[in-house]
Amino acid sequence: MTREIRYRLDTVFRYAILLFVGIIMVYPLFWMVGASFMTNSQIFSSVGFIPKDPTLSGYVKGYAGYEGMTLLYFMINTFKFVIPKVIFTVLSATVTAYGFARFNFGGKRFSFIVLLSTLFLPQVVLNVPQYILFDQLGWLDSYLPLIVPSMFAGDTYFVYMQIQFLRGIPKELEEAAEIDGCGIMQRLWYIIVPMLKPTIASCALFQFMWASNDFMGPLIYVNTVAKYPVSIFLRMSMDADVGFEWNRVLAMSLIAIIPSLVVFFAAQDSFVDGIAAGGVKG
């Protein structure tokens, strides 16, 4: 076997693997889209994902929601805490990272060690006392337990990400600005923030995804149906469905992930860069 042939065979083999794995990865999602347009009797009768006689009944029933509250209503509930959370996370993480990366102060090393150690602090030990704390504050059954910690840079991962990035940016511009009489906040706003844009974008994107996918938080803290985010509402509908309206549940699930999909496709590269940067440096 010559080198040339061998090389070609290798390449073919590689594409075959990639394609095969790709199909396994994506097929369930395609099936989900197709099945949401199928009649209930068809869903469990064929392997294909193209509906024979497409119906919108799943979407119509799914959109109707629960007791007059449409599916859109529950999706808006999700945004009611996701959007503030994203904004507060970006603001607080940037300011904290600025403090760590650009200033010297007593106890900085210690503070940084504490910051790093919270990255490894499992949420599971915190759930019970946090619940009791929020209960005492009277915050249960509101979105406050989900939003307020993000005002205080609660997701340390993002602070760490920003610090790492800031360390790579030369300080000369800021020094020049300082000489020209720029204050600390002016330097942050006019010099740091523009340079940090890519990292800020990936912070916002990841927080958007994580917060909208968050299931346990709302499950513990929110208990009125009218305040349910779409994730909890979905799970409620799934359990209530004893077995007939499959296309409805699938259609609802699909509508619920549309915002995440749109955001992902709009900003794919930011996601991939964000993960790669965090991982390699971290």
Partner 1 sequence: MNFKTLRKKNIGLLLILPWWIGFGVFKLYPFVSSLIYSFNDYNLFHSASFIGLGNYKKILGDKLIMKAFVQTFKYAFITVPLELSFALFIAYILNFKIKGVKFFRTAYYIPSILGGSVSIAVLWRFLFKAEGLVNMIAGKFGILPFNWLGNSEGAFWVIVLLRIWQFGSPMVIFLAALKGVSLELYEAASIDGAGKLRQLFNITIPLITPVIFYNFVTQLCNKFQEFNGPFIVTQGGPLRSTTLVSLLVYNNAFKSYEMGMASAIAWLLFLIIMTLTAILFISQKHWVYYSDEDGR
Binding to partner 1 (CB under 8 A) within 204-233 occurs at 209-210, 212-216, 220, 231-232
C-alpha triplet 59, 218, 163: angle, nearest 5°: 110
How distant, in Å, are the alpha carbons of 73, 205, 212, 217 from that of 83? 15, 11, 9, 15
**Of the listed pieces 22-30, 60-68, 79-87, 165-173, which binds partner 1 according to CB under 8 A?**
22-30
**Of the listed pieces 53-61, 64-72, 165-173, 255-263, which binds partner 1 according to CB under 8 A?**
255-263
Confirm or reject binding of residue 29 to partner 1 (CB under 8 A). Answer: yes
Output the smallest distance, CB 5 to partner 1, in A. Answer: 16
DSSP per-residue codes, 171-237: SHHHHHHHHTT--HHHHIIIIIHHHHHHHHHHHHHHHHHHHHH--HHHHHH---GGG--HHHHHHHH
Amino acid letter at 159?
A: V
Confirm or reject binding of residue 166 to partner 1 (CB under 8 A). Answer: no
Binding to partner 1 (CB under 8 A) within 69-108 occurs at 92, 95-96, 98-100, 102-108
How distant, in Å, are the alpha carbons of 53, 257, 273 from that of 97? 56, 32, 19
Confirm or reject binding of residue 257 to partner 1 (CB under 8 A). Answer: yes
All residues at 6 or more sequence positions from 5 whose CB lies less than 8 Å from its CB, including other chains: none
Among 52, 176, 260, 262, binds partner 1 (CB under 8 A): 260
Among 40, 57, 130, 164, binds partner 1 (CB under 8 A): 130
Binding residue count for partner 1, defined by CB under 8 A:
90
Binding to partner 1 (CB under 8 A) within 170-189 occurs at 184
Decide whether 176 or 215 has the Cβ nearer to partner 1.
215
